[in-house]
Amino acid sequence: MRLFNRIIDKEENLALVGLGYVGMPIAVAFAQKGIHVIGFDLNDEKIALYKSGIDPTKEVGDETISQTSVEFTSNEKDLRRAKFIIMAVPTPVNTDHTPDLKPVIGASEIVGRNLVPGSIIVYESTVYPGCTEDVCIPILERESGLKCGVDFKVGYSPERINPGDKVHCLENIQKIVSGMDTESLAEIQDVYNIVIKAGTYPVSSIRTAEAVKVVENSQRDINIAFMNELAMVFDRMDIDTNEVVDGMNTKWNALGFRPGLVGGHCIGVDPYYFTYEAEKLGYHSQIILNGRIVNDSMGAYVANTAIKKMIEAGQAPKKSKVVIFGLTFKENCPDIRNSKVDDIIKQLNKYGIDPSVVDPWASERDAIHEYGVRLTDMEDVVDADCIIVAVAHNEFKVLRLSDINKFFKMVPDDEKVLIDVKGLYRVDDLKDSGFRW
């Protein structure tokens, strides 16, 4: 009998390794379909939260977590009871922008130590083409003493979850699947079809599936870099970038991208995985890396613009009180990994400015651990000289300019500085406000 059928019949278990923004929703989705799921993560604190019915990612919510049948564990030996294992650990980059494979290597070692014959391991972590076969499989073989293709099979299915997005969620996004051979591909496709309503899209090889992931995010990165470059030019021309984009989007083939800070664990990282492998093959990227340069510079650009406007307002920036609204890498999401708001903070620090940061979505503990930032409650913001709205959380989008005005010092309007990174306000309204913006 096929592994797929034994999983359906609850004769075999499915395991998720890595229970973050990607792995946890997958584990819950399979459990909701009656599959017995073992959810493994090294973080004992995270496991304790899940067991107590708390969802720190806010991806599925506390109620769903409290009702799920997922067996949450930090004991790696529990993985020995699973035959279908999905790897969903993060793959960040180092400070020199080279791939940091330590998490995926460590997860492969753990799974290898506990691998049983007849298993299928599917990697979802973003890697460069060839990494699964050249790096991960040898680790699995070394740690298990088993032979890939004989004792176990491997596949790759890139994650496409969009954190904070309640419309484009796991079940509604078509899933790329691949396997090392036709047999493993058939098993992997059938297992994922249990939870993917939109269906699966099989490709010919693991390397192709790996390439799909890094290329789709590199494409987005390049398009956003183009819009960021336009925004910097339009700023000098005194043209409203959003109005230009709105007009452009009336054409059928417009892509709808807008300028902004590009961080997070996908778009701000994946292009480097692609160019890393290309460099090893002797090809230097002409477009992708330049797009990264533009997007990586946006935090400093925002900070420098704020400094310029503070000087125009007659402020002494070093003595000014600067408040940043938003720390997470995107709106309505608690994920602060690789947030480009940190680049704004670091650039302001160079001018001797230690800004206050408000973010109702971010974890105070994570903010301190990742960036050394102590969050401020919005109710406690008073006497600001400059406000930078960096993330479009719903809590910020409802603020009118009259509400923003209450956070400033009692000084003439032209001495108040507002930097609207996300374009939440109409230019005509900003002009009428009297702020420096």
User: How do residues 253-263 score in pLDDT, each as one tens digit?
Assistant: 988 888 888 87
> Domain 297-437 is in which class?
alpha beta
Question: Distance between CA 66 and CA 62 in Å, rounded?
Answer: 6
Task: Report yes or no: 126 and 91 within 8 Å, Cβ to Cβ.
Answer: yes
Those residues with Cβ within 8 angstroms of residue 74's Cβ, 6 or more apart along the chain or in another chain = 40, 41, 42, 43, 44, 47
113-117, 159-163, 232-236 — which one is most confidently predicted on average?
113-117
Angle between the 206-237 and 288-296 helix axes, to the nearest 10 degrees? Answer: 50
Do the domains spanning 211-296 and 297-437 agree at the CATH topology level? Answer: no
Give the total residue count for the chain. Answer: 437
Report the phi/psi class of residue 162: left, alpha or beta, with left for phi > 0 and alpha for psi in -120 to 50: beta
Percentage, residues of the chain above pLDDT 70: 98
Please tell me the predicted confidence (pLDDT) of residue 281. Answer: 86
Mean pLDDT computed over 319-339: 92
User: Pick from 108, 100, 36: which is nearest to 73 by CA?
Assistant: 36
For residue 167, the model assigns a pLDDT of 67
- Helix (DSSP H) and strand (DSSP E) numbers for the chain: 18, 12
Within 8 A by CB and 6+ apart from 261, the residues are 295, 298, 299, 302, 329, 339, 340, 341, 343, 390, 421
> What's the pTM?
0.89
What does the angle CA 264 – CA 265 – CA 266 come to, to the nearest 5 degrees? Answer: 100
Buried/exposed 86-95: b ≥16 CB within 10 Å, e otherwise: bbbbbbbbee
Domain 3-204 in this protein, CATH class: alpha beta
Spell out the residues 6+ positions from residue 377 whose beta carbon is closer than 8 angstroms to its own: 358
Over 90: is that where the pLDDT of 271 sits?
A: no
Query: Could you say which of 131, 136, 266, 386 is catalytic?
Result: 266
Q: Would you say residue 265 has pLDDT above 90?
A: no
- Alpha-carbon distance of 290 to 284, in angstroms, equals 11
Q: Does residue 184 carry a pLDDT above 70?
A: yes
pLDDT value of residue 96? 84
| Measured distance CA(169)–CA(330) in Å, rounded | 16
Residues 6+ apart with CB under 8 A from 207: 129, 130, 133
Per-residue pLDDT, 274: 85
What's the confidence (pLDDT) of residue 368? 93
33 or 269: which leads in pLDDT? 33
In this prediction, residue 206 carries a pLDDT of 97
Which pLDDT value is given to residue 163? 66
Residue 192 confidence (pLDDT) above 80:
yes
The structure tokens listed for 210 are: 């790996």
Per domain, the residue ranges of the chain are 3-204, 211-296, 297-437
Q: How far apart are CA 65 and CA 69, in angstroms?
A: 9
- Respond yes or no: is residue 131 known to be catalytic: no
How many other β-carbons are positioned within 10 Å of the β-carbon of residue 19?
28
**pLDDT at res. 419:** 96
Which pLDDT band holds residue 171 (cuts at 50, 70, 90)? confident
Strands 175-179 and 82-87: unpaired
CATH architecture assignment, domain 211-296 = Orthogonal Bundle (1.10)
